[in-house]
Structure formats: structure tokens, C-alpha cells
């Protein structure tokens, strides 16, 4: 179980969080239909570092971006959504 | 005298216990294994496959043979290792896997047929058509499994605790204690866990004398220095970021205690694994008989427990360590007939010392045992080219040492091969985990391939699963090249011991057959738990109905007065019906539904998801979320709406109400409440953070009561003293001095109003409504009646018809979809598959026979393929007759067809006619103004 440092609450157990999706699979409201479907269905699924959207659902309920190694589970950085 | 016995002298045995119904005595501190040996009992189990007599092989958690059932009734614990349970007064143990008794076991006949039961026996024997399988199954099931679990509810209590530390040390042997002391001296917060009841690890085995007291004093000193010491606590799993789960046994299996076990979740910055090493057996004919024991285990029984595991012993070894066992046995009054060493002549201090006392033979080529049920009778050895026989009752064997790398490997640590010790040792780690002492490979070297000494067919590698050396050879011949396949084919390394004693011998054998080096043969994955856990420890205090929280309605007490049948719905519990007298559920539901159709009724709808959406951009926000028109909604009006997922499927439905210019109330389904909360938060925070809008989840704040029926308007008008709002209108009012929000929406198909009040104020509102409704001959109604009403009306339900695979078009809602787009899911609607003609589409079904079974599949004729299914079935409320909603391939164009609705699991088959999915007042004349 990961230990995730919420930018608002500090170190918390993974059970307090929900994984939402990878950043590259966010379908923005202004996307053309073709691009929206590509974004939704054609994921990169890299072996290694990926950028993910998480939410501290059972805490502050804020969204945050995790740069995470999907092989080693190491979290390189955590930033509040919208900060970057 | 032959066989095991207690060494003379020492304290009297003060504890009473029984094994297979026979009473025995034990000393405090004895494991069950030690106590049985002290009483001369070595036959304790029958092997899994061949029912061979088995004794005690080890002295720790790695024991593969001596599995017993401990405790009685609700505390019966099967598959307990006799070496891992400490005797308490009154302990009751019975042997397993034998019938009618341990000494006379019918299953032994299987052993005579052993050649038949080679690797892959089941795969090779049981095949054919399904019918034959049904026949085989009875026999396979009878043969499968080890002990029997208790039938009663668990009588024990369990606890969960969390702890945090700088350094967690696993194992209190010499290496673990040094690591603890060093960390404590450096000022770290330290937790030391030890799986044994007595700390000290190998010291307890090798030092003898009063070592227990010395160890206890040493640990007391550690505790004084601030270290938390947990004995009888096994680290069973390592997870991400230094999380280690440990099970602390506060009571022995079968023993009554306030709390039986405690599961610790310890988060450590650094983990030190001092988990020691496990001795390997040698592979030779008859190495599984009672009387064959691991060398270090024999030493443990002598030194720690004052038990002599045999009077005339032979030691078989490929290393020096086993020589120490010879000395221990001799000191305890035993006779060592011979030390049989597989190595060519060795020069070492220990060997030289031993040669002064014992006959030592080198270059042992072949080994075999003969014996009875309780101990050996003789050991045959081929020494060089000379055959010799020893009349021994005990054979203490040592095939080298395997570092316990389980926890390291669980944490995705790499394993490195060490040729000198013929074992894997911990390599690179991803986390701050270090292994020390024997666990890190500080064990005695052995020569390669010295563990195989006999006839493969009688030489056991995995004792627990009865896998012989020949089985492994056969698996190799039959093409099982990967060790993972070997494991599944032969069952090697499975069950309660997970191959703790057998893994390395098996790998060695496989590598030998393959002609490759051992590391090339591979290694199976180590997974938690390190030792078997009870489910109770994992559940902790959450057993007995506490696994999930119960969400009670604000009006719970008001319903409870009416003694409803409660229906769990997610975590919520809602009244399903309010039966009167001896009414059945169906009778009560039909009566309640008729009250709504013909008079008036009330139902608790508090669990609906409710969101207050407020702000200048509230309507823009709702236009993104809802697939229907929202922005043109007038103040004081509401609309049915639904939301799509990004892939175009219907996610949820509900109503949206404009309460004032910038304030909306959005309702959606009970079951989708959490998903909708997350979805709205995602839209607001991630997709459209620029919108000036706030979304407040009011699901639990607002209690809701729906008032429905032809007389609903009159009831409400009387209560609020004014004309209620028209259909799909909203207004505010006061009922029983409580301010309420009134929404004129109909789910039932009758004139209806949803009345919302703050949950803590809703009681008087319910009372006033219930009294008014009853005065007119109506009654409260539950979910079952609500279901009848909505099916007849043809309203879809999220999770029923809107099952995540249906579009608005499939559900015949496409006319409501906003043409201008701009909502979530709009981009997906042009995908060709979403307009395919054979999609499953909503239909109504009328029975031509009996009741339509819910969940039934829909077929054109009996035996043709399934073309859809029944999502919900009900009775026509007033007219009788069975109706249903369903999803059917191309259903929108198939009205009038006759199909078969078939439920093989219920044995119900009925002819149905496809009709439009509404059976009652399609135009809405009963509630429209």
C-alpha cells in the first residue's frame, strides 16, 4: 500500500485516495470528437514513469497529479491539480 | 527402548492435553510437537496423497508433515503445524487425513497404488464429456483439501493496530538483536518482531541451559531503551513504502482469550530482515518416515525442550553443522551410531572432534530407511562401495541451509545465486530493506548436488504434497520446462508450507534434469503471507455484520415502527414492503402498489443522490454534465435528465430543478451516488475549473418522502394550506411546522410530489403525511411496490435497464438528447457501433403464460441462442398478469414477436410477447396538468 504525500494533508495511506486516470487520457471539453475518442480509447500504457490523476477522495477531496513509476511504484512527484 | 522420549530429570509436566482422544502431559513452553515426542508419539499425520505415516520433521513454521487440528467447536483450527503451537492446559488436538484412525488408515491403500498417482494424475485420468466429470467430481472433492474448517461462527475476537517506526527488525536471533541494539543506540524508534514465543532465534536452539531467561532479560533491556518488542508475532507480508503486516498471536490456536490475534500494520522507514535460514532435507528413499528429522530440529528438541527424539541415531549430512547434533544427542543420553557424510574426507575442527566420539563415514553414496509407524528400524547406507546397515530409530538429516528470503522477495527485491551455499540470497531492493545474518546468506557452504542420495520413486522432495524426485523427473520428461509449470503440474511448493523445505531440493532436481545451472531453472514467486493466516485476523473487528457500515435512513425509527422487510441497497437499508398480518412480500407489495394507483401512498426516497448546484455558472456546469436541455429551464420548474459517460453510454439519470436564478437541485440514482459525486467533482475541478459554481452533496442532509396517488394533490393541499405546484413544478411550503421543498415529479405514474426536509426535522413531516394518507385509506409503500409501479409505467432504472452498456437510443430516450451537443459523451455518439441495428434495446414483455422470471434470457425458440434478457419483472398492479422490461437485440423493431423467456437456474420457462415498454397511461394523463 502506497504512502502518498497529499499536497494539502501530508502523508496518507493509499486507501484514502482514488486513482482517477492517466493525464494523457483526460478528454477535455474542447476536443474534437475524433481526438476525444483517440484520447479515451488509445492509451500509451508505458512500462515505467507515467503521469496520473488521483483524488484524495476520503480526505480533502482534491485532485492531484502523481508522477509515478508503474514498475517500481516509486512516486517521483505530487502536485495539486492546476498548479502546473 | 526405542523412539522419542523426555530426557530424565527436570520439572514435572504440569499441563494436560490430548491427541486423538488420548490424554498426555506437557511442560510449560513445550510446543505440541515437543510434547508429543516427550510422550513417545511420533506418528502424528498421514500424508496428503499416499496417506503415508508421517512424523515430526522440523521444529518451526516450516514443518511440512505434522499438520493437526487444534481446538474444538467454534475454535477448531485445522492444519495447525504441531511445531508452531504451544501447549496450554486442556489443548485438544486430532490428526487429519486418515480414516478410521491414524494407525489404521484405509487411505494407505492409495500408497500401494503410488505409481498410478504420479505427476499430473488428475490431468491424465479425469477427462471426457461433462457428464463423466460430474461423476469424477465427487471423488476428487473427497480427496481434496487437508483439515476440516469449523462450521460454527468464529468464537474469537481479533484486533487491528497500526504502528510507525524508523526501523522494523524481523527476527530476534543474534543478527536481529544486534541490528535492534544498533538502531536504538542511533536514536531510532525500533520495533522488533519475533515469530517464536521465546526470543533468541538460533541461540535458543544451540545454547541450551537457561538461555530462555537470558534472552528475556536481554529483550527487557531493549524495551527499556525504547524498543517495542513483539513476540509470537509473525511478519507475514511486505507491501509498498515500508508497510509490513504482522500477526501477533495473543492466544494459541483453539485457546480461549479476550483477543485471539492482533494484525499489525507497521509502516517503517527502514526494514531489517533477520529471518534466519531453513534447513533442507536430504533426498533419499524413505526420507519421509516418522523418525527422520531435520538435524537442527533434533538439536532443538534436545536443547530447548529436553526431549530426545530418538535413542539410537544416525546423522546424515553434507555439512559440518549436523555434527553438533551428534554431540547434543550424546549429551542427552542418546547413542549416535554413525555420522554419514556425503562429502569426501573433510578436515575441520568439528569433524575432528566428532571423530573422537562417533563413527564418521565419508563418501556416502546412497541412503534408505526402513521403519514402522512411529520410528525407524534401520538405516541402510552405501559408503563408497560398501553397504552398511544401522539399527537406528532416528535419522537426523541436513542438506544445507536456505536463507529465508520470502519477505525480501515479496517486496520485489532481486535474488542472487550463491554457488558456495547452493542457495539464493537477497540482492538489490527497491525499498530500504536490508537482510542480515543467515537470511543474508551467512550459512555454511555445501557442495553442489549432494542432496540426492537414493531411489527417486521413494525419495520425497515436497513432503506436504507427496511429490517425489521421480515426479519431478517425469514432469520434465513430459515437457514441463518452467519451474512455474512444474509447480502447478506436480503441486510442488503449494499448501500450508509453501515449499519452505522443498523449494531448493526441487530446483536442484529440475536443474539436474534440464542440465542447466540452478539459477537458470528459475524460482517461483514468493507471495504473502509467509505463514498461513486466519481469516479472522484479516477481518479484525469487522466481523459479525460489521464488514460494511450500515447507512440508516433519517426516518429509520418511523419505518421500524411499521416492522418493514428491510432491503439492503449498497450500504443503505430501505423498507422493501410493510406486510400486514401474515401477508407475503408479494401480497404486501401488490396491496401497497394498488393503494398508490387507486388512492394515495408515501414512500421514503431519502437515499436519492442530491446535489445543490449554485453560482453564476451553475447552468453552464449542468449543460456539461446533463445530456438533456437544462439552460432554458424556468425558475420553479424541473425536468427529467440523464448523464452520459465519455463513451456515450447512459451513466445515471434523475431530475434537475431550477430553484432560483443561480441555484439548481440535481437528483440522481441511489446506487450511483458516490460515482456521481466523483464525476461532478471531476468536471468542476479538472475539466471546467473556470466555472463559478459550487456543488454541495446533500444526499444525507435532505430526507425525502414521495407522496403519490390520485388523491396526492388533495392530501398535500390540505397539509400546506395552498395549491401544490403543477407537474414538474417546484415550490416551498411548511408541513407540521417544518419547512419543506416540494417537487412535483412522478416516478410511479400517478400524480406525485417529492417532499424534502432536513433529515433531523423530517420525522414530523412523515407523521403528518402518514396520518393524512391513512385517513384517506392509503398507506406507506416500499421498494417492491415502487418497482411494480415503475415497471408498469416503463421507467428505466440505473443498474437495471441502464446497465452501463445502453445508450439513450437503446433506452428510447434519444429525443431528449440535446441536439447542440456540448455535454460529456456527445463526442462518442457518432461512433458507428452506437447506431448498429442489432444493439440491445429496451422492450416491454407480456407473459402468455405464467410469471416471467427476472434475469431470464430471451430466445426465439427453445434451444436457440440468447438474444437478450429480462431486466425486471412485475405484476400488472390492477389487472393482474405478468409483465417485464428487458433488453433485446434490435428490440425497438420487434414488437409483436413471440419469444421464450427462460431461466434454467430457476427451472422457469414462459412464452412472452414483445410490446412497447409502457403498460400504463403512456400519455401521462394521470399526472399532467
d(CA B518, CA B500): 17
Nearest residue to B305 (alpha-carbon basis) of B200, B204, B173:
B204
Query: What angle, 0 to 180 degrees and rounded to 10, lies between the N-to-C axes of helices B321-331 and B295-303?
Result: 30
Direct distance between the N- and C-terminal alpha carbons of chain B, in angstroms, rounded to an integer = 103
**B374 band by pLDDT with thresholds 50, 70 and 90:** confident
Q: ∠B104-B110-B114 over CA atoms, to 5°?
A: 130
CB distance B688–A29 less than 8 Å?
yes
Flag whether the pTM goes above 0.95.
Answer: no
Which residues have C-beta within 8 Å of that of residue B280, sequence separation ≥ 6? B398, B399, B400, B401, B402, B451, B501, B504, B505
Query: Mutate which of B160, B237, B686 to test chain A, going by most A C-beta atoms within 10 A?
Result: B686
How high is the pLDDT of residue B111?
A: 61
What is the rounded average pLDDT of the residues B461-478?
A: 92
Q: Which chain B residues are closer than 8 Å to A1 by Cβ?
A: 239-241, 243
Q: Which chain B residues are closer than 8 Å to A37 by Cβ?
A: 827-828, 831
Which residues have C-beta within 8 Å of that of residue B180, sequence separation ≥ 6? B167, B169, B172, B190, B192, B222, B227, B272
**B833: how many CB neighbours lie within 10 A of its CB?**
9
d(CA B313, CA B379): 10
Cα→Cα distances B920→B25, B707, B870, B887, Å: 79, 19, 19, 19
Query: Mutate which of B237, B429, B623, B682 to test chain A, going by most A C-beta atoms within 10 A?
Result: B682
Residue B518 vs residue B124, higher pLDDT:
B518
Query: Mutate which of A15, A23, A27 to test chain B, going by most B C-beta atoms within 10 A?
Result: A27
pLDDT at B488 > cutoff 80: yes
Nine-digit cell at B663? 441555484
**B675: how many CB neighbours lie within 10 A of its CB?**
16
Query: What angle, 0 to 180 degrees and rounded to 10, lies between the N-to-C axes of helices B783-793 and B585-598?
Result: 60
Cα B721 to the center of its chain, rounded Å: 58
How high is the pLDDT of residue A35?
A: 96
pLDDT at B145 > cutoff 80: no
CB distance A3–B831 less than 8 Å?
no
ipTM of this complex: 0.98
pLDDT at B744 > cutoff 60: yes
* CB B149 within 8 Å of CB B499: no
A-proximal residues of B, 620-649, CB under 8 Å: 624, 646-647
Cα→Cα distances B780→A27, B556, B711, B875, Å: 45, 14, 14, 19
What is the rounded average pLDDT of the residues B655-668?
A: 97
Query: What angle, 0 to 180 degrees and rounded to 10, lies between the N-to-C axes of helices B503-514 and B483-490?
Result: 120
**B213: how many CB neighbours lie within 10 A of its CB?**
10
**B148: how many CB neighbours lie within 10 A of its CB?**
11
CB distance B827–A33 less than 8 Å?
yes
**B184 band by pLDDT with thresholds 50, 70 and 90:** very high
How high is the pLDDT of residue B143?
A: 64
**B98 band by pLDDT with thresholds 50, 70 and 90:** confident
Point out the least confidently predicted range of A68-77, B296-305, B448-457, B547-556.
B448-457
Label residue B555 exposed, middle or buried (CB < 10 Å: 0-12, 13-18, 19+): buried
CB distance A26–B686 less than 8 Å?
yes
CB distance A33–B624 less than 8 Å?
no
**Three-class HEC string of B82-134:** HHHCECCCCEEEEECCCCECCCCECCHHHHHCHHHHCCCHHHHHCCCCHHHHH
Which residues have C-beta within 8 Å of that of residue B233, sequence separation ≥ 6? B193, B194, B195, B246, B247, B248, B249, B264
How high is the pLDDT of residue B127?
A: 67
pLDDT at B112 > cutoff 70: no
Calculate how close chain A gets to B619, using CA atoms only, in Å.
16
**B100 band by pLDDT with thresholds 50, 70 and 90:** confident
Label residue B237 exposed, middle or buried (CB < 10 Å: 0-12, 13-18, 19+): buried
What is the rounded average pLDDT of the residues B414-442?
A: 96
Nearest residue to B288 (alpha-carbon basis) of B54, B603, B127:
B54
pLDDT at B142 > cutoff 90: no
Calculate how close chain B gets to A29, using CA atoms only, in Å.
7
Nearest to A72 among B430, B687, B822 (CB): B430
pLDDT per residue as tens digits for the range B190-204: 999 999 999 999 999
Q: What are phi and psi of B271, to 5 degrees?
A: -125, 130
CB distance B242–A3 less than 8 Å?
yes
How high is the pLDDT of residue B268?
A: 97
**B484 band by pLDDT with thresholds 50, 70 and 90:** confident
**B389: how many CB neighbours lie within 10 A of its CB?**
11
Q: What is the DSSP letter of B564?
A: P
How high is the pLDDT of residue B645?
A: 97
* CB B109 within 8 Å of CB B49: no
pLDDT at B656 > cutoff 80: yes
Cα→Cα distances B375→B247, B454, B854, Å: 35, 20, 63
Query: What angle, 0 to 180 degrees and rounded to 10, lies between the N-to-C axes of helices B469-477 and B503-514?
Result: 40
Nearest to B827 among A20, A31, A62 (CB): A31
* CB B36 within 8 Å of CB B44: yes
DSSP helix/strand/coil, A59: coil
What is the rounded average pLDDT of the residues B732-740?
A: 97
pLDDT at B883 > cutoff 80: yes
In B774-920, DSSP assigns E strands to 779-780, 840-847, 857-859, 866-875, 882-889, 898-903, 908-915
Q: What are phi and psi of A34, to 5 degrees?
A: -60, -50
Query: Mutate which of A36, A43, A60, A62 to test chain B, going by most B C-beta atoms within 10 A?
Result: A36
Point out the least confidently predicted range of B283-297, B355-369, B479-493, B893-907.
B479-493
Please give chain A's pLDDT, 84 residues, in tens: 999 999 999 999 999 999 999 999 999 999 999 999 999 999 899 999 999 999 999 999 999 999 999 999 999 999 999 875
CB distance B681–A27 less than 8 Å?
no
Q: Which chain B residues are closer than 8 Å to A18 by Cβ?
A: 678
Average per-residue pLDDT for chain B = 93
How high is the pLDDT of residue B116?
A: 61
Paired with B702 in beta bridges are B758
pLDDT at B123 > cutoff 90: no
Calculate how close chain A gets to B554, using CA atoms only, in Å.
23
**B818 band by pLDDT with thresholds 50, 70 and 90:** very high
**B113 band by pLDDT with thresholds 50, 70 and 90:** low
Query: Which residue in the block uniquely carries the three cell numbers 411494480?
Result: B788
Nearest residue to B798 (alpha-carbon basis) of B638, B603, B667:
B667
User: Parallel, antiparallel, or unpaired: how do β-strands B601-604 and B702-708 relate?
Assistant: antiparallel
Q: What is the DSSP letter of B173?
A: S
Amino acid at each position: 500500500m502506497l504512502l502518498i504525500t497529499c499536497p494539502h494533508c501530508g502523508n496518507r495511506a493509499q486507501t484514502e485516495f482514488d486513482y482517477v486516470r492517466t493525464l494523457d487520457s483526460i478528454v477535455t471539453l474542447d476536443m474534437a470528437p475524433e481526438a476525444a475518442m483517440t484520447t479515451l480509447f488509445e492509451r500509451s500504457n508505458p512500462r515505467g514513469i507515467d503521469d496520473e490523476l488521483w483524488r484524495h477522495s476520503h480526505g480533502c477531496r482534491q485532485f492531484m497529479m502523481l508522477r509515478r513509476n508503474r514498475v517500481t511504484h516509486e512516486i517521483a512527484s505530487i502536485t495539486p491539480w492546476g498548479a502546473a | 527402548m526405542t523412539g522419542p522420549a523426555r530426557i530424565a530429570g527436570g520439572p514435572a509436566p504440569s499441563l494436560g492435553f490430548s491427541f486423538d482422544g488420548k490424554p498426555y502431559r506437557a511442560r510449560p513452553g513445550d510446543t505440541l510437537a515437543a510434547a508429543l515426542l516427550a510422550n513417545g508419539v511420533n506418528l502424528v499425520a498421514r500424508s496428503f496423497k499416499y496417506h503415508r505415516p508421517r512424523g515430526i520433521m522440523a521444529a518451526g513454521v516450516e514443518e511440512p508433515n505434522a499438520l493437526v487440528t487444534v481446538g474444538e467447536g467454534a475454535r477448531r483450527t485445522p492444519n495447525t503445524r504441531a511445531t508452531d503451537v504451544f501447549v496450554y492446559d486442556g489443548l485438544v488436538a486430532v490428526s487429519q487425513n486418515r480414516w478410521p484412525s491414524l494407525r489404521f488408515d484405509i487411505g494407505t491403500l492409495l500408497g500401494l497404488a503410488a505409481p498410478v498417482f504420479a505427476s499430473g494424475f488428475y490431468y491424465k485420468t479425469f477427462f471426457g464429456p461433462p457428464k463423466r466429470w460430474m461423476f469424477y467430481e465427487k471423488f476428487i472433492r473427497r480427496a481434496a483439501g487437508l483439515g476440516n474448517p469449523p462450521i460454527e461462527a468464529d468464537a474469537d475476537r481479533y484486533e487491528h493496530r497500526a504502528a510507525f517506526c524508523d526501523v522494523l527488525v524481523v527476527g530476534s536471533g543474534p543478527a536481529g538483536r544486534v541490528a535492534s541494539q544498533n538502531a536504538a543506540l542511533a536514536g531510532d524508534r525500533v520495533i522488533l518482531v519475533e515469530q517464536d514465543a521465546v526470543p533468541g532465534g538460533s541461540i535458543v536452539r544451540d545454547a541450551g541451559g537457561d538461555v530462555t531467561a537470558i534472552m528475556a532479560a536481554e529483550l527487557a533491556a531493549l524495551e527499556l531503551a525504547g524498543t517495542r518488542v513483539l513476540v509470537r508475532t509473525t511478519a507475514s507480508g511486505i507491501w509498498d513504502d515500508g508497510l509490513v503486516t504482522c500477526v501477533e498471536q495473543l492466544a494459541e490456536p483453539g485457546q480461549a482469550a479476550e483477543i485471539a490475534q492482533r494484525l499489525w500494520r507497521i509502516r517503517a522507514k527502514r526494514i531489517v530482515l533477520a529471518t534466519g535460514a531453513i534447513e533442507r532435507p536430504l533426498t533419499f528413499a524413505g526420507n519421509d518416515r516418522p523418525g527422520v528429522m531435520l538435524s537442527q530440529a533434533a538439536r532443538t528438541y534436545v536443547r530447548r525442550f529436553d526431549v530426545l527424539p530418538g535413542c539410537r541415531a544416525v546423522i546424515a549430512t553434507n555439512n559440518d553443522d549436523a555434527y553438533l547434533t551428534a554431540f547434543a544427542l550424546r549429551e542427552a543420553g542418546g547413542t549416535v551410531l554413525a555420522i554419514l557424510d556425503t562429502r569426501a574426507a573433510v578436515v575441520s575442527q568439528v569433524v575432528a572432534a566428532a571423530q573422537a566420539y562417533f563413527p564418521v563415514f565419508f563418501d556416502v553414496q546412497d541412503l534408505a530407511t526402513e521403519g514402522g509407524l512411529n520410528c525407524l528400524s534401520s538405516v541402510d547406507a552405501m559408503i563408497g562401495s560398501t553397504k552398511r546397515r544401522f539399527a537406528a530409530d532416528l535419522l537426523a538429516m541436513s542438506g544445507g541451509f536456505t536463507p529465508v528470503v520470502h519477505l525480501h522477495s515479496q517486496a520485489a527485491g532481486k535474488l542472487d545465486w550463491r554457488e558456495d551455499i547452493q542457495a539464493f540470497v537477497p540482492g538489490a531492493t527497491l525499498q530500504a530493506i536490508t537482510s542480515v545474518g543467515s537470511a543474508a546468506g551467512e550459512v555454511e557452504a555445501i557442495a553442489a548436488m549432494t542432496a540426492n542420495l537414493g531411489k527417486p520413486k521413494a525419495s520425497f522432495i515436497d513432503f506436504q504434497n507427496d511429490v517425489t524426485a521421480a515426479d519431478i523427473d517425469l514432469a520434465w520428461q513430459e515437457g514441463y520446462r518452467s519451474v512455474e509449470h512444474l509447480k502447478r503440474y506436480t503441486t510442488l511448493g503449494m499448501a500450508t508450507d509453501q515449499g519452505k523445505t522443498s523449494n531448493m531440493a526441487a530446483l536442484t532436481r529440475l536443474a539436474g534434469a534440464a542440465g542447466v545451472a540452478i539459477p537458470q531453472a528459475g524460482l517461483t514467486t514468493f507471495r504473502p503471507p509467509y505463514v498461513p493466516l486466519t481469516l479472522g485476523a484479516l477481518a479484525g473487528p469487522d466481523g459479525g455484520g460489521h464488514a460494511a457500515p450500515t447507512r440508516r435512513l433519517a426516518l429509520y425509527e418511523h419505518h421500524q415502527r411499521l416492522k418493514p422487510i428491510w432491503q439492503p441497497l449498497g450500504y443503505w437499508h430501505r423498507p422493501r414492503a410493510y406486510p400486514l398480518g401474515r401477508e407475503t412480500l408479494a401480497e404486501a407489495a401488490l396491496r401497497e402498489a394498488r393503494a398508490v394507483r387507486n388512492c394515495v401512498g408515501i414512500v421514503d426516497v431519502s437515499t436519492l443522490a442530491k446535489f445543490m448546484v449554485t453560482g453564476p455558472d451553475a447552468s453552464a456546469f449542468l449543460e456539461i454534465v446533463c445530456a438533456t436541455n437544462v439552460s432554458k429551464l424556468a425558475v420553479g420548474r424541473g425536468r427529467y435528465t440523464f448523464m452520459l459517460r465519455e463513451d456515450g453510454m447512459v451513466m445515471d439519470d434523475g431530475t434537475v430543478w431550477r430553484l432560483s436564478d443561480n441555484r439548481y437541485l440535481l437528483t440522481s440514482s441511489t446506487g450511483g451516488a458516490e460515482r456521481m459525486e466523483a464525476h461532478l467533482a471531476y468536471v468542476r475541478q479538472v475539466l471546467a475549473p473556470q466555472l463559478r459554481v459550487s456543488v454541495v452533496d446533500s444526499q444525507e442532509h435532505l430526507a425525502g418522502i414521495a407522496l403519490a396517488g390520485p388523491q396526492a394533490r388533495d392530501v398535500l393541499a390540505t397539509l400546506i394550506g395552498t395549491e401544490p405546484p403543477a407537474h414538474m413544478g417546484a415550490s416551498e411550503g411548511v408541513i407540521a411546522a417544518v419547512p419543506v421543498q416540494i417537487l412535483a415529479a412522478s416516478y410511479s405514474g400517478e400524480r406525485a410530489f417529492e417532499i424534502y426536509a432536513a433529515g433531523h426535522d423530517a420525522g414530523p413531516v412523515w407523521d403528518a403525511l402518514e396520518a393524512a394518507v391513512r385517513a384517506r385509506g392509503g398507506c406507506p409503500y416500499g421498494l417492491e411496490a415502487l418497482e411494480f409501479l415503475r415497471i408498469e409505467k416503463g421507467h428505466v432504472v440505473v443498474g437495471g435497464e441502464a446497465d452501463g452498456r445502453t445508450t439513450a437510443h437503446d433506452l428510447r430516450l434519444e429525443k431528449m438528447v440535446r441536439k447542440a451537443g456540448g455535454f460529456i459523451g456527445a463526442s462518442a455518439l457518432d461512433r458507428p457501433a452506437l447506431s448498429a441495428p442489432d444493439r440491445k434495446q429496451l422492450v416491454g414483455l407480456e407473459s402468455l403464460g405464467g410469471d416471467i422470471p427476472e434475469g431470464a434470457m430471451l430466445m426465439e425458440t427453445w434451444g436457440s441462442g440468447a438474444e437478450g434478457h429480462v431486466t425486471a419483472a412485475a405484476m400488472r398492479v390492477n389487472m393482474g398478469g405478468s409483465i417485464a422490461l428487458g433488453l433485446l437485440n434490435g428490440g425497438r423493431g420487434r414488437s409483436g414477436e413471440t419469444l421464450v423467456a427462460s431461466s434454467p437456474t430457476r427451472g422457469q420457462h414462459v412464452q412472452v410477447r414483445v410490446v412497447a415498454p409502457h403498460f400504463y397511461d403512456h400519455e401521462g394523463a394521470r399526472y399532467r396538468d
